[in-house]
Amino acid sequence: MDTVTSAVFPSGQALCALQDVPDGGAMGLDATLVDGKENIILLRQGEQVCAYLNICPHAGRQLDYAPGQFLLSKGTLICAVHGASFDQTNGFCIGGPCKGESLRSVALRVHDGDIFLA
């Protein structure tokens, strides 16, 4: 089964196995994108995976409180720096200093138990 989010970046790079991302959890990793190496966030719900650049639109800081460690609560991803809350399924900021803005999505493809850039 293939899952695709909005297309933004080049295709083909294998990121990790689906099972490496905890179901209901998040994982951060570096990926080579068009503009160079970026840290991205993978958020998993069952077989579905969403990915975003690990950059808060409020102040340009990373969202994790420690490398690869993210605050998640009731379907939201929370910026550890200023508390902005983002809907995990679409990256839209639903509360905090950048309300109404969005995280930048990264296109993925899940195939045969592995996650790839789409």
pLDDT 10s digits, 3-13: 433 334 445 78
Give the pLDDT mean for 51-58. 96
CATH code assigned to 14-70+104-117: 2.102.10.10
Q: Is the per-residue pLDDT at 66 higher than 60?
A: yes
What pLDDT band is residue 88 in, cutting at 50, 70 and 90? very high
Within 8 A by CB and 6+ apart from 118, the residues are 4, 5, 7, 9, 11, 107, 108, 109
Confidence bin at 36 (pLDDT 50/70/90): confident
> Where exactly are the structural domains of the chain?
14-70+104-117
Q: What band does 101 get if pLDDT is binned at 50, 70 and 90?
A: very high
